[in-house]
Structure 1
Amino acid sequence: MPDPSPPADSPVRASALDTSVIPLGERALQGILDHVMAVGDEAETTCLEVKGPLDMGSKTSTAKIAKFLLGAANRGPREAARHFHGYAVLVIGAQKEDAPGVPRGTEAHELEDRLRPYLGPQFPAFEFGRIEVGSDHEVLFVIAQPPEDGQPIFPCHKSYQSDDRRDSLEDGAIYVRGNSNTRPARSGEILALVERARGGGKPPIVLEVELVGYVHRVDRVEEVLEQLLNYREEQFHKEPEQQEQTSFSPASLQLASNLFGSAKPPSREDRDKALAAWRRKKAEYIAGGREHLLGVGLSGAGIRVLSRDRFIAKPRLTLTFHGCELFDHLDADDADFEKAAEPVLRRQNPLGPGFDYAALRPLPKDYPVNWSNRSEDAEIVLTPESLRPNDPWTSDQDDYVIVARDTGACSAKVTWLLTEEGNDVVTTGEFVVPTEELIDASDVLKSVFFDGV
C-alpha cells in the first residue's frame, strides 16, 4: 500500500504541533501554519481554530472571529494552560496543502472596532499576527490571551443572524471552546465559569523595570554655545569687508538677478536691524542650540519592562526621572551647525525656503512611547498593547536622550507607576541608575561637527 503522506521535501509534510511554546512571533506562527497546511481542519483543538480565506470586511467574518474570541475567553485557566501557555489561536486564510491568505491591509485596531459591539467594553485584549504569502496576501492570526482565575464570564453583547446558523450569535449567549469548535455553554460549563469568577481575582503584578542606555552629564553647554554665538557676531562684522574685497563679473550678477531677483548684499541699515533682532533672541538661540546639540550628539535611551508570571492588558507605565530632562533623539544626518549656532543672517535659498525634514518626526498611530519635561523632572509614558508573562518588552532607543540637570549627580532616581485597563489597582516602584561620566560640551560639539577635522 503506498504511503499517503507527503514526501519529505514537501512544504506541507505532517508533523506534530508543538503546543509547549508561546504562539507569538514569526517562528511560532510559521510552525502553526505549517501544521495547518499539513493536516487541514484536523489541526483544530481547544486551543486552535482554522478558517480558510475570509472577506475580512464582512459582518459574517467579524462574527466568526468574535465567536472564537468569546469561546477562548470562557475557558478554564488550568485546562487552557496545557497548550500554548494558555493562549488560543485562530488561523485565517489557510487550509490543507494551501495558504491562499487574505488580501493585505487588515489593521488590528480596525478589526477591534468591529468586534467591540459583540465582545463588550471589558473584554480582554487580543494579539494579532500575520505572515505574508505572495506579494499582496497574508495569513492572519488572532491570538486570545490566557484566561485567569477571577475573570468574569464573557457573554456575547450583540446578536447576528447568518445564513449558516453555525456563524450566528445571540445577545447574552455564553460561548465556550469545544474540542474543535466554539458552541453555546452547557449548564456545567457555566457553573465552572462562575467558580472561575470566584477565584480571588488576578494575581498581583510583579514588574521589573530598567533603563536601556544612559543618563548623560554634560558640562559647560551654555558657555560653549555662548562662545559660538559670539564667534557668529564677530564673523558678521567682518562680512562687509570681505564682500568689498570680492569681485563679481557683471555677467554673473546679471544672470543671478534675472534668475533669483536682486543679488545686492543687504544695506548697512538692514544689517544693523538684523543684528539687533538677533541679539534680542540670543537666549532663545542658546536654548535651541542646546536642544539640537544634545539631541544629535548623545546616545538615546529606552525602557525594558518584564512582567513576572502575569499577562497585563493595555498597561500604562509612567516613569519619572527625577532631576533629569529629555531631548528628542536625532540621527547624525540631522546635525545642522546653524541650529546649534544661529547665524545673524541665514543664507537665502534662491529656490525658496527649504523644508526641515529633521523637524518632521511623524509617529505611527497608537505609538507606545510619549515623553515630556515636567518642572525639574523628565516623564516617560509607555502604553504597549500588552505585557506578556516573562516576555520582556523594550522600547526603541531612538526616541529621546536623557540628561541629568545636576552635572555633579552620580545617580538618578526613577519612580514608576503602572495601571492596567479594567483594574483599579495601581502598582508603583522605583530604582536608581548611575549617571555617565561627565563630558564637556566642546567635546560633543567636536564629535558632531568637526570629527576628523
Structure 2
Amino acid sequence: MGIVDSSKLPIGNRARAAFIAALEASDDRVERHYLELKSGFDLNSKADRRKVVKFILGASHRDPAKAARHFDGYAVMVLGLTLDGVAGVPKFELMDLERDIDTFAGTDPPGWDVDLVPASGGRDYVIVIVDPPDDKVRPVLQSSDALQSGDVYIRVEGATRRATGSELIAMMARAGTQAQGAILDVSVEPDGVLHSLVIDVAELRELVDWHRDRLKAQLEDTAPRSPFAVLQGSFSTDRRSEREFLDAVEKWRDEALEEPESGIHDLASQMSRPFILKIRNNTATSLKEVRLELAFDAPVTALYWQGQDNTLDLFADRPKNWGTDSYLTPSLTGLRPLVAPNAFEGSIRIATQRPAELVVEMRRLHSEQSLSTPDEDVVLVLFADGPDAIPDTVTATWRLTAGEVNEVLRGSFKLDMSRGEWREPLHWTIAQLRGDVPEEDE
C-alpha cells in the first residue's frame, strides 16, 4: 500500500505527480475528512460535477482545528484514479464546473482550485483543492437530482454527508464566534510631524568622490619600495587584498552616488525626533497578534533612531581605511544592539527604508486600550534638494489585521512637515573635513 504524505499540501508538478503515484499504489482506506478519491469520473457529466460541489461544500464545514492537522488545512479531492486499466478523466470545460458551483454554492463559495496531472491517452488526473474552513455556513442553494436546496453538507472520515443537528449547531456556534470577533474598530494617529531636511545633493556627491580618491590613494602611500615589495605585500595585516579593497571602494561609490543622502542618515537619525503612533482599540473585544502596515505617498526615508554622541562621520558606511581592517582587530559587522522589552509588548520595524514602509506588531491590544509605539525606535525624514521640493503634507495609508479576525481594516492620516535647512551646516562640516576652511573661520 502506498504511503500518502498528508503533512503538507503537495505543491509543484513533481510533488503532485508523486502524490498521484502514492494514491495509485494505495486504496480507498486512505480516504479521510481531508481526502476523497474517485475513479471512472467524467466532469462532462452533471451528476459527477455535482459530486464535486458536494465535496467542496462539505470540506468547508469541517472543524478548523481538526482540518489544520493535514494538508495545511486544505481538503483534496482526486479524480481519475485507475479503473479497469484506464487512468484519468476525459477533457472537460472548467467553466461548466464553475457554473455548477455558482448555482449550488452561491457567488461566495468556499475557495477552491483545480490542478491537472497528465495521465495517458490525452486524459488527466484532476486534483480539486478546497481552502481551509472559514467558519461560514453554506447550505445548498438550489435543488437537483443529487442536491437538495437547504441541505448543509459536512466532510467526515471517508464520506461527505448531510450534517446532523449537533454538527449544524457546532457550525453555527463557530460562525457566531467569528462574526462577533470580526468587527475591527481601531484608531491610528501620528504623534508629531514628519521631518524634511534641505540638503545640497551635488555637494554630497562631490564628497563621495573625495572619499573614493582618498581611499585609493592610501594604497599608493603604503606601497613598499624595496626589492622585497612582493614579499612584504604578502604579509599585509589587512584582511582584504588590494583588488578586494579597490572593488569595495568602487562599489560603495556607485551606491552612494545613487543615494547621496545616505551619507547623512546617521546624523539625521540622531538629530530628528522619533516617529510615534497612537493606536486605540475602540471596541470591548480584545485583539491579539495585531499587525499594522504603513506606507507613504512621498519618498520618505525610515531610519532607526540613534542617541546623540560627539562624533560626526558623513558616509560612515564607506570601506575602512586601508590597513585598518586587520585580522588582529575583531570584526563587529552584522551585530545589532539588543532591544529590551518594554510595556508596548510589540515592535515597530522598518520593512523598506525608502520609500518608507513600516510594520507595527503587537501581541495584544486589550479592549478600549490605547498604546503608543516606543519613542526611541524609528525616525522618518524627507530629504529635499531645495525648499520647493517639500510638500506641505504627506499622506500615510495603513492596513491593520488581527489574529482570528477575518477582516482587514484600512485607513489613512496626514502628516504635517517640519522644515530643516541643512545646506549651510553641511557645507561648513564638509569643508572642515576636507581641510578647506580658511584659518580665520576655524
TM-score by length of 1: 0.42
Q: Which has the larger radius of gyration?
A: 2
TM-score by length of 2: 0.43
